């Protein structure tokens, strides 16, 4: 299944970058704990996208 994996490789990084930007923007207002939670949510989303498309 090389095609879906390649698709995930191209689709997932923009989501991660967007997530990182959100974390940075929210960082000024949010506590450190909230940033950690957001980070893990982004990781879970990333893994879900990879698993779903592979």
Tens digits of residue pLDDT in 20-30: 777 777 766 66
Domain count of the fold of the chain: 1
CA angle, corner 51, sides to 37 and 36, nearest 5?
Answer: 10
- Whether the model pTM is above 0.85: no
Higher pLDDT, 18 or 41: 41
The per-residue pLDDT for 28 is 65
| Residue 1 pLDDT exceeds 50 | no
Average the pLDDT over 12-35 and give the result. 71
- The parent domain of residue 40 ranges over 2-53
**Residue the block writes with tokens 């994996």:** 5
């Amino acid at each position: 299944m090389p095609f879906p994996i390649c698709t995930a490789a191209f689709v997932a990084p923009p989501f991660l970058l967007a997530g990182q930007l959100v974390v940075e923007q929210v960082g000024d207002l949010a506590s450190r704990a909230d940033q950690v939670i957001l980070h893990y949510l982004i990781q879970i989303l990333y893994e879900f996208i990879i698993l779903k498309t592979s």
